[in-house]
Structure 1
Amino acid sequence: MSSHYIEMNEWKTVRRRLLFTCLLLIIYVIGTRIPLLSTPNELNIDSTYKMTIANMGGNLDSINIFSLGLGPWLTAMIITMLYYYKFPEKMVKLTQYERSIREKILTLIIAIIQSYFLVRQAYILNPEQPYSQWIAMLVLISGSMLLMWMADINTIRGIAGAMPIVFISIIRSFLSQSSVLFSVGPIIVMFAFIFVLIAFIVLLVLELSEYHIKYEDIMTVSTPYQKPYIAWKLNPSGSLSIMITIALFISLKYFVDLMLHALTLGDYVDTSFISFTNPVGITLFVSMLFVFNFWLSVFMLNPKNKAEMFQKSGNYFIGIQPGKATERFLKDKARKVSFVGAFIVTLIIGIPLFTTLLYPKSSVEIILSIQIIMVVYIALNMVEYVKTLLYFDRYEGFLKRYW
């Protein structure tokens, strides 16, 4: 009877969080339906770029208050993470509130740059707009900051933080571009289906696989066949590394536009080489994806913190001295695990992108396939989040009392 009560209370918490997340998603969908500028169909933005923006929660099918999406926030987040990883002593001196303020200020700066170029392009094509450029920029920036706040509060009160917003954005982008599937031959559709199926199986195996490192626990007197172990996922960063890489890639394009715009005194400069239709752009993106997936995985495994915990508890690895030797041992293991995960994810995303260079007419179909993979990956991460939530809810009373 008590077990039944605990189970009912767990699902009650999950349902409450799901309802809160659904409320935020309704606000997001309504916001994407509110047009800001009157020239969405005249913008010189290809379908591939629009679908890429959708992977960050943005929407360029119509310029609305949420067109920038979560790109500025994701870019600011990875920049601050890199900074604090390089200078960890500065992170220790700052409170969580101070770190949050710095991240939001950087997000604001990036949102200003991105909104400037989006509005400028719209006004160049059609100067007759219902609002001035500054008002349009202010609305876009406010929408981006509001979306960041929604993702932040969803982490506390809802399910999986920013992932549901990105999930809905990709679904909407996929539905808007799904008519392309009916305009191609059955052979391309069949190959795309086979690719998605293989990628789904590989990602599922990657998500469920763990690398175990056995260690000696001084408090355990069990048999050698029941030794405790550290369990590390082969791809700890999940879909987050893909979203962050896309955000950084788009931000890089805006930054290059800004620099060239300043150097040429406002003249038009072609920056199509930083795109998914150019071999330079694809190579750059794939390289960034591998580097950030690898780095983010090592960062999330945090071997240094694990080594410190081992030194405090007295646990050890056979043949490895505690302290610096244990830290080097765990860092080496973390790099190997992260390399495997980053290599597999890079292959799954990189091969179809390079295929678009051989068959340019199939670029939209291949990007659609990648979006399906993203949806599957995000769905797996959200399911894992719900499982973790149920696990901790089971011990909520204990944790509140003693932790």
Structure 2
Amino acid sequence: MHNRSLIKRCLWTLLLVLILAAGQQIVLPSIDGLAATQALTKQGGSFLQIFGSVTGGRLTVPALFSLGLSPYMTSMIVWSAVQSWDLPGVSAMSVRAIGMVQRFFTLIIASLQALAMVRTVAPALQPMPLVLGDYSYDMSAWFTGIILVAGAMFTAWLADLNNDKGIGSTVIMIVPGIIINIPGSLQRGWGGVTYALTPQHIAVAAVVAVLFTFCAVWLYKIEVRLPLQRPMLESSYGDSYIPIKLLTAGAMPFMFSTSLFSLPMYVVKGTSLNGTPMGHAIMQWTSYQSWRGLVLYAVVLMLLGYAFGYLNTRPVQTAKSLKYSSDYFYDVAPGDATERFLTHHFFVICTLGNLVEIVIGIVPLLLENVYPGAANFSLFLGNLFIIVTIFDTIMQQFRALRSKYQYQLFA
């Protein structure tokens, strides 16, 4: 019985992933696909392309599901940040109300991303005139934007459906897009030159990928366990612990650091700042080939590590929960002292984890002068780390479901 249930969940996930992958291949009828692809990939990549490569979108091609899960994931992060403030009105919201708010955030973010994509591919839009008497209006931009937003909302629905019926929660839905984008991320990367995918380069990338995956799996499993006393449980389970992972932020800094760091560069290129002293300074501070850019990129990774790590750990909410349940740490009073205790350990552990992620992101960039093409591995390794964290989550859920289905009340 339990095997059938697991197989059913896996089949559901496979079906939903195939639907998403198929939708990312259907080019919109209102766009010249070749011209749009050239516009989206000109100058070695764009902000949209970079963001899509780490969030599972296919933003190099104007397709039905091009936006992928990026609006949904971004809205979930925004909502998690709102919840971390522990506002009374937010805490009292029903599940239905929370779902509606998250959908609203998803709609807004999808609309902004669709607008950016439509403006990028504007020269490739096929005319779709709306004629009202003597008045004619081209609806191609509106049509394209609405279809992109609708595709993003449908993708969010697929993710929720997988969370309910499949395996791997919602995040597994970004895996196909990331895997498809890996060759392109290795080719373009941050090196400033194209890293040709020759047999020799592919072999090097394969070896690096295998070694890095083993190291990433090991690092991701490291955690610090804070001993916890649970006096309300009169059993061996009374001695428990609260774990804090070394990589508290997971792969989230890699998902958003590249797009956040690159955004000012593309703003300068597309505005009157281009060619000005201020624009030149911004380009220097957002270049992966300058020491200023490397320092700023490390700072961005560090800050995002703290932000996402805090959202994952939530020391304030954990301290309140422990106080209500009468659980406590050794020699630490409940309440404010527990909150300070958890916050202190979070910052120490998170700082060490952030340094690990900085090494992953920065070392390939530093090696560029010694090994041409090494900088391209920064984005490549970031994508691999995202996949490692997702599959670790999938394996944990798989083991939990298997244990649940094997459990029998009466032997």
Superposition TM-score tier, normalisation by shorter sequence: 0.7 to 0.9
> Which position in structure 2 is the counterpart of 1:120?
119
CA distance in 1, matches of 2:336, 2:23: 52
**Structure 1 residue 42 and structure 2 residue 27: aligned?**
no
Letter in 2 for 1:56: T
- Distance in 1 separating the partners of 2:401 and 2:265: 38
Distance 2:407 2:54 in 1: 35
Name the residue aligned to 2:167. 159
The answer as to 2:156 corresponding to 1:148 is yes
Instruction: Could you tell me which runs of 5 or more consecutive residues in structure 2 were left unpaired when the two chains were aligned.
Output: 129-138, 188-193
Contact residue 80 and residue 103 of structure 1 kept, 8 A: yes
- Name the residue aligned to 2:11: 19
The one-letter amino acid paired with 1:104 is: R
Evaluate the alpha carbon distance shift between residue 166 and residue 44 of structure 1 in structure 2; reply closer, same or farther with a 3 A threshold: closer
Query: Structure 1's 19 and 115: CA in aligned 2 closer, same or farther, altered over 3 A?
Result: same
Q: Note if 1:376 corresponds to 2:388.
A: yes
- With normalisation by structure 2, the TM-score equals 0.77
Shift of 1:111: 1.9
Q: Return the match for 1:321 from 308, 330, 333.
A: 333
For 2:83, the aligned partner's letter is Y
Per the alignment, residue 178 of structure 2 pairs with 170
Matches within 5 A, 1:67-146: 67-86=66-85, 88-124=87-123, 126=124, 128=126, 132-146=140-154
Paired residue total? 380
Q: CA deviation at 1:19?
A: 0.9
**For 1:43, what is the secondary structure of its paired residue?**
helix
Kindly, what percent of the aligned residue pairs are identical?
A: 22
Deviations along 1:154-204, one digit per CA (max 9) or x if unpaired, are 112212233222211122223567898764584x66664554344323321
1:232 is matched with 244
Q: What is the CA distance between 1:277 and its match in structure 2?
A: 5.2
Show structure 1 runs of 5+ residues with no match.
1-8, 399-403
Distance 1:23 1:295 in 2: 34
Q: Quote the residue 2:22 is aligned against.
A: 30
In the TM superposition, residue 119 of structure 1 has moved relative to its aligned partner by 1.6
* Distance (Å, rounded) in 1 between the aligned partners of 2:285 and 2:145: 24
For residues 203-242 of structure 1, the aligned pairs below 5 Å read 203-218=216-231, 227-242=239-254
Change (3 A) 1:249 1:89: farther
The residue type paired with residue 161 of structure 1 is S
2:308 alignment partner in structure 1: 296
The answer to whether the 8 A contact 1:356-1:366 is kept is no
Work out the CA distance in 1 between the residues paired with 2:255 and 2:165: 22
Shift of 1:135: 0.5
Amino acid at match of 1:238: G
Deviation readout 1:40-62 (Å, 9 max, x if unpaired): 34215255553651221211342
1:247 Cα deviation (Å)? 6.2
Whether the 8 Å CA contact 2:246–2:352 is kept in 1: the answer is: yes
TM-score normalized by structure 1? 0.78
Confirm or deny: 8 A CA contact 1:66 1:147 kept in the other structure: yes
Q: Which has the higher helix share?
A: 1
Map residues 381-396 of structure 1 onto 2, 5 A cutoff.
381-393=393-405
Provide closer, same or farther for how the CA distance between residues 177 and 238 of structure 1 changes in structure 2, counting only shifts above 3 A: closer
3-state DSSP of counterpart to 1:55: helix
Alignment partners' CA distance in 2, 1:112 and 1:133: 12
CA distance in 1, matches of 2:15, 2:63: 19
Q: Aligned letter for 1:70?
A: L
Please report the RMSD computed on the Cα atoms of aligned residues, expressed in angstroms: 3.9
| Per-residue deviation, 1:18 | 1.1
1:229 positional shift: 2.6
